[in-house]
Amino acid sequence: MRTIYLRKEDDNSVRKILLDMAYLSNHKKIRFPKYKMEDGLYLLAKQKGTDSVEKYFLTKDKIKKEDADFYFFDFPFKAVEVENYSD
């Protein structure tokens, strides 16, 4: 599986935050540290059947479970449908 980043837009820039790819590739779920969670985190994914791209925000209502250190989210995409931002 290729590297996938979340994005966070600030005033004049866009930050990239690397996802835990080992967990994602094994479990098909996003495992995200609680201390890194903030409003506005998203990834870009192609809408099914079209070439348009949409922002998929990681919000508290999308949390499927949590433990002491992590939030867990479903990953409703195939890896090829998600934009890669390693460049």
DSSP, res 34: G
Collect contacts of 68-75 with beta carbons under 8 A, ≥24 apart.
Answer: 69/33, 69/34, 70/31, 70/32, 70/33, 70/34, 71/31, 71/32, 71/33, 71/34, 71/37, 72/29, 72/30, 72/31, 72/32, 73/29, 73/30, 73/32, 74/29, 74/30, 75/24, 75/28, 75/29, 75/30
- Taking the C-alpha atoms of 19, 21, 25 and 28 in order, what is their torsion angle to the nearest 10 degrees? -20
pLDDT tens-place string over residues 24-61: 989 999 999 999 999 999 998 887 777 788 899 999 99
pLDDT tens-place string over residues 51-87: 788 899 999 999 999 999 999 999 988 877 887 654 4
Predicted local confidence at residue 84, as pLDDT: 63
Predicted local confidence at residue 82, as pLDDT: 84
Predicted local confidence at residue 87, as pLDDT: 42
